[in-house]
Structure formats: structure tokens, C-alpha cells
Amino acid sequence: MFTGLSAFPLTPTGEAGIDERGFRKLVERLAAAGVDSIGALGSTGGYAYLTREERSRAARIAVDAAGDVPVMVGIGALRTSDVLALAEDAQNAGASAVLLAPVSYQQLTDDEVFGLYEDVTAGLSVPLCVYDNPGTTHFRFSDELHGRIASLPNVGAVKIPGIPEDQAPARVAAFRNALPAGVALGVSGDQFAAGGLNAGADVWFSVIGGLLPEECLAITRAARHDAARAVELSQRMTPLWKLFGRYGSLRVTSAAAEHLGLIGSPNLPRPLRGLPAEARQEVADVLEALEVRA
Amino acid sequence: MFTGLSAFPLTPTGEAGIDERGFRKLVERLAAAGVDSIGALGSTGGYAYLTREERSRAARIAVDAAGDVPVMVGIGALRTSDVLALAEDAQNAGASAVLLAPVSYQQLTDDEVFGLYEDVTAGLSVPLCVYDNPGTTHFRFSDELHGRIASLPNVGAVKIPGIPEDQAPARVAAFRNALPAGVALGVSGDQFAAGGLNAGADVWFSVIGGLLPEECLAITRAARHDAARAVELSQRMTPLWKLFGRYGSLRVTSAAAEHLGLIGSPNLPRPLRGLPAEARQEVADVLEALEVRA
């Protein structure tokens, strides 16, 4: 499950709810491209904005549309009792794994975050991936806390934020040291993925992989045998990484999916808004220059 | 509505849901003490962790228990459509005002936050208080954005974070300049409230006022005619402000309410946890030293 390219699709959502047809199409496309797993309802999949019913429905669509490709489903919520209900729904939908970030309103303590994972992992029958995303949760894990949580039953992987290439070997080694054997290490932060994979991470949890699976599979496969080639393929996408930095990966991916004709507009639930016209043009220009096709 | 002391009670909540009797008691106590308004379901009232049904029920209890004291109800949520539903529920419950923070998972842009307030204020029949709380939302308002939002119809007040006493006169003056006439300015950050009121803020939105209304009313009333006395009364509570800084105002207030015998334990929904035993003892010692009684 936790190896290679894990692609995180958008869940196109307007004020009337999820565009289920659009979502199904995005997932089918990933399965057809041969990604190693699909991460439904991640941050890019807008999990934090959707109701329990919408999330249950999206999980079922994802599992169905993914065919033989295993699906991990995001179960994060502010309240533990909601997370437990979402974990049950995800498992009932056929998820092969669940993804959990310590979503915060009040700043959480280390003991509260440990308690959250303790409460949730106890009842799981599929592996859980610990989702470390300080950009959205504003919680910072220490390596020590990662190690404690990863030692709980049913923890299968840890998804860490992007690490600049020059720091990746040391950080990946430090994480390996902190995590029990058998717990997979996954990198995110698309622009840094080649460096992370080259440094020995097991899996790339990818935003852009949810839209451009072939380009990302090429990077992932190259990292297995030709580190320099993986870096080169990633560097080719620098104009896209720059747009991610400027506008955020979610809004850029949303505009890109629209430009490629895969989903309609609007596809982000308010208060989120699509990019303004000028920024959309930049996204279109970059996709054209990269010769990306749907 | 937006003047004097606005007291924000806890909403005691365990894994079985809201302790409605405990919540009613807290609100009745505030009304009996003569606070100027009550802020139900603020951050201290745990709004972000409660379901729509729980929030609707708590709003009705608060309005009923408050008698003649006006009640403002927190309507914040990640998704605009949820905020709109919560606004309707709050108004149906009899709220005299609503309180809205730009709750964030994805970092919001200024235009998205403006759009949120535009969408929500359009349909209101009670005034809205803009809730600026970067500690929980991680969104930072510029004075310019505050001014634009405060110019929308039905905006009645802005609740700003605490300002250190020496900066309060300049910041309060700058806010006044940015806000349209008729929009009230309220300070929070309990330890800085005396300075903010002395600098001319209209209202103190108070966490500890939800538990110790008499002590906070004394500070608020003093600020109207004797600035030095307001500061002196606030400084007397320095040991409490220090505990707020160390453990967070929510957990300290929760432990204090328990120590005073007003609510049971646990009273915070998981993953939040009450303070550990040693910290509870510190809270108890400070309350004893301040000669606080329920």
C-alpha cells in the first residue's frame, strides 16, 4: 500500500455539493495511469470542508472507481468522536488505509495529539497513515512524538512535509531512526519529492500526481534506479512548483484541472475561490509549455 | 449590545455531548452578575468542536438562561454553507448578534475572507461581530481588510486580539480610523483588557469574564472613570494571566470552573484534554490566593 506514487485527487465541490461524475472521472484516470495508490479526501480532496455524508459517498465512489488500486481515505476532523465515525465510514466504504492529521482549532498539546491517535488506532482494521501537515494543522510533530505514535497498533505510514533536497538524506535517516521498523515513510511537498524518494522515502504522497499521474510516475520510477534522472524530470516542472508556491497547490491544481477540461467551475467550496483570471492564464501557460494533456 | 463586558462561558462537553445543566448554570450566573452581554459558543465555548444540532441547542439554552441579557452566538465553520445554516439557527434561537471568525484549514486569501463576510452578512437580521483571532484561525487581517468588511451591511462590531498596554492607544486609534462610524471596537486577550478599555475600546470580549464576572465587571466599570484603578484590578490577576500564557486560557478556565464546583470533569471534547494534576493544583492555588469563590 505505502510504496511508489500515491496520487491525491481533487474532490470537485461547488455550492450544490460534490460533482460526483467529475470526481469519479479523476479517480478512474489515476487508476488507468497505474498509480500505486490513491489518496481520496486528502487536503487536496477538501476533506475538511465536507460533511460526513459527502465524505462517505466520496469514499465509496473512489473505491469503486479505483478498481484494483488501493485507496486511502482521509478521516481528519476537529473532534475525536467525529474522526471515529469517519474511520468507520471509510472502512465500510472499502478503504485500504486511512489518513489522519491532527486538525486543530485550539492549539493541541503533544499529549492530546498522542491521545487522538491512541483513540483512533485502537479500533481500526486497516492501517493508518499519520498526516504531518503543519501548513494546515499548525501542529508541529517532534521526531520523538512521531516515534511514539508510529509505535501504536495499526500505524502503517507517516506522511511528512516536503524537505529541501540538500537536507533530505539527513532528515529521512533521522525519521527512519525515530520510526519502528515496518512503518513506511512518505514524503509530500511535490517540488521536493524527487529528493525525498532519492533519499530513500518509500512513497510520494502527491498533489499533482492526482492530476498528472504519468509525469509523476516517471519521476517515481526514475528515483528507483536513476536519481539524477528523477531530479531532472522534477526540475522540468519548476514553473509549476513556482505557481504552487505563489498561489497554493490546491488552487493551482483546481485551475489546472479546469484548463485540462476534466472538471467544471467552480470546483472549490466557499469560502475557497478559484484563482483570478490572470493567475489562471499563468497556469494555462505553464501547462502548455510543459506540453501537458488531459 | 457591543458595550461594557461581554462574557464568554465554557460549553462543558464530554464524550456524551454537552452538559446542558452545567452550561445553563454558567449562563444564569453571568446574567445574575449583570454582565452587559453574553458570548455563547465562542472559542471558549468550543463552537468549532460541536455539531450543528449541539450548537442550535446550546444557543437556545443560552438565550433562555440569559433572560434580559443579550446573547451573541458564534457561527464560525470552515464552509460558508455551514456558516449560513448556523446563522439561521442562531437567529431562530433568539440571538441578538452573531460572531464569525474566518475559520481556516487551507490558508485563506483576503478576497476569500471578504467573500465569506459578504455572503454571510447579506442575509442577517441581527448584527455580526467580526472575530479576529489569529491564534486559532491563523488568518491575519490587515486594517484595510477590517475596514472593507466592517463597511458591509449588518456588521456591528470587530473583536480584535489583545494589544499590550503601551501600544493600545495607538492601535485603538488606528482601528477607529479604519472602521466606519457606528461599528463598535472590542478587545480580547484578558490580560490586556484594562489597557484596551482605557484606550477607548467599547467592549471587552472576555474569556475569564465567563467564569469570574464580578471581578471583570469591576475592571470594566473602573475603566469608565478611573484608568489607574482598572489597571490595578487587572494586575491583581497577573497570576491567572500567567497561567493563561502557560497552559492556554481554555484549559485554565476549564480547570478553574471545575475547582469552583461549577461543572464536572471531563468538560472538554476530545482530542482536547483537561490540565494534568500539577497544573490543576497551580490553578487552584491561584484561585485561592485571589480569594475567588463560585
The model's pLDDT over A150-198, given as tens digits with 9 standing for 90+, comes to 999 999 999 999 999 999 999 999 999 999 999 999 999 999 999 999 9
Provide the pLDDT for residue A268: 98
Mutate to test the interface with A, among B15, B43, B79 (most CBs of A within 10 A): B79
Orientation of helix A143-150 relative to helix A168-178, angle to 10°: 40
Q: How far apart are the first and last CA of chain B?
A: 26
Q: What angle do CA B163, B165, B166 make, to 5 degrees?
A: 110
Do B9 and B40 meet the contact criterion of CB atoms below 8 Å apart? yes
Residue A31 in domain: yes
Residue A13 labeled ligand binder = no
Verify whether the Cβ–Cβ distance B270 to A119 is below 8 Å.
yes
User: Closest Cα to residue A143, out of A105, A106, A183?
Assistant: A183
Phi/psi at B141 (nearest 5 deg)? -80, 140
Verify whether the Cβ–Cβ distance A116 to B271 is below 8 Å.
yes
Q: Is B49 a catalytic residue?
A: no
Which residue(s) pair with B129 in the sheet?
Answer: B99, B157
Quickly list H helices, chain B: 20-33, 52-66, 80-93, 110-121, 134-137, 143-150, 168-178, 193-198, 213-225, 227-236, 238-247, 249-259, 277-289
Residue B108 in domain: yes
CB-nearest to A15 from B81, B108, B116 is B81
- In tens, the pLDDT along A222-249 reads 998 999 999 999 999 999 999 999 999 9
* Window A:7-36, CB contacts with B under 8 Å: 15
Provide the pLDDT for residue B31: 98
- Chain A: closest CA distance from residue B245 (Å): 13
Low-confidence spans in chain B with pLDDT less than 70: none
Provide the pLDDT for residue B136: 96
Residue B160 in domain: yes
Provide the pLDDT for residue B294: 79
Query: What residues have CB less than 8 Å from B77, skipping those under 6 apart?
Result: B48, B83, B86, B103
Q: Tell whether the model's pLDDT for residue A89 goes beyond 90.
A: yes
Residue B281 in domain: no
Verify whether the Cβ–Cβ distance B273 to A49 is below 8 Å.
no
- Chain A: closest CA distance from residue B15 (Å): 7
Verify whether the Cβ–Cβ distance A107 to B269 is below 8 Å.
no
Residue A137 in domain: yes
Provide the pLDDT for residue B267: 98
Query: What residues have CB less than 8 Å from B48, skipping those under 6 apart?
Result: A78, A105, A106, B76, B77, B103, B136
Query: What residues have CB less than 8 Å from A158, skipping those under 6 apart?
Result: A129, A130, A132, A146, A150, A175, A179, A183, A184, A185, A186
Query: What residues have CB less than 8 Å from B170, skipping those under 6 apart?
Result: none
Q: Which residues of A touch B111 (CB under 8 A)?
A: 273, 276
Do B95 and B126 meet the contact criterion of CB atoms below 8 Å apart? yes
The two beta strands, A128-131 and B71-74, are: unpaired
- DSSP letter string over A194-209? HHHHHTT-SEEEESGG
Provide the pLDDT for residue B256: 98
CB atoms within 10 A of CB A90: 29
Count the domains in chain B: 1
Verify whether the Cβ–Cβ distance A105 to B49 is below 8 Å.
yes
User: Closest Cα to residue B37, out of B91, B73, B13, B76?
Assistant: B73
Do B262 and B26 meet the contact criterion of CB atoms below 8 Å apart? yes
Q: Which residues of A touch B207 (CB under 8 A)?
A: none
In chain A, what percentage of residues exceed pLDDT 90? 99
Residue A285 in domain: no
Provide the pLDDT for residue A294: 79
* Window A:159-218, CB contacts with B under 8 Å: none
- CATH number, position A207: 3.20.20.70
Provide the pLDDT for residue B293: 82
CB-nearest to B115 from A48, A78, A273 is A273
Active site residues of A: 131, 159
Phi/psi at B265 (nearest 5 deg)? -135, 140
In single-letter form, the type of residue at position B62 comes to: A
* Window A:263-292, CB contacts with B under 8 Å: 269-273, 276
Q: Which residue bears the cell 525519521?
A: A175
Question: Which structural domain range is residue A68 located in?
Answer: 4-235
Verify whether the Cβ–Cβ distance B116 to A271 is below 8 Å.
yes
Residue B34 in domain: yes
CB-nearest to A106 from B115, B272, B276 is B272
